[in-house]
Amino acid sequence: MIKKIVAILLVLVCTSGAAFSQIEKGAFLTRFSVGNNKATLNYSGNINTNVKGNTYALAPGYAIKNNLVLGLFGGLGHYNAETMSAFTATQTKSKNYIAGAFIKMYRSLPNRFFVFGEGSLSHAWNDVTSQNRYQPVNGPEQVTNYAAKGNNSNASFKPGIAYQAWSRLQFELLLPDLLVIGHNRLKTEKEGKTTTETSWNASTNLDKQPLKQLSFGATLLL
One digit per residue, the tens of pLDDT, for the chain of length 222 reads 445 544 544 444 444 444 446 788 999 999 888 887 777 777 666 678 888 888 899 999 999 999 999 999 999 999 898 888 878 888 999 999 999 999 999 998 888 899 999 999 999 999 999 998 888 888 888 888 889 999 999 999 989 999 988 888 899 888 888 889 999 898 887 777 888 989 998 887 665 455 556 778 888 888
What is the rounded CA–CA span in Å between residue 178 and residue 72?
A: 20
State in Å, rounded, how far the first CA of the chain is from the last one. Answer: 36
What is the rounded CA–CA span in Å between residue 157 and residue 103?
A: 10
Question: Greatest CA separation found in the chain?
Answer: 73
Range of the domain at 88: 2-221
What is the rounded CA–CA span in Å between residue 185 and residue 201?
A: 11
Report the run of H or E that residue 99 belongs to, with start and end: strand 88-108
Q: How many distinct structural domains can be found in the chain? A: 1
Instruction: Output the domain CATH number for residue 130.
Output: 2.40.160.20
- For residue 191, the tally of other CB atoms under 10 A from its CB is 7
Give 140's DSSP letter. -
Length of the chain as a residue count:
222
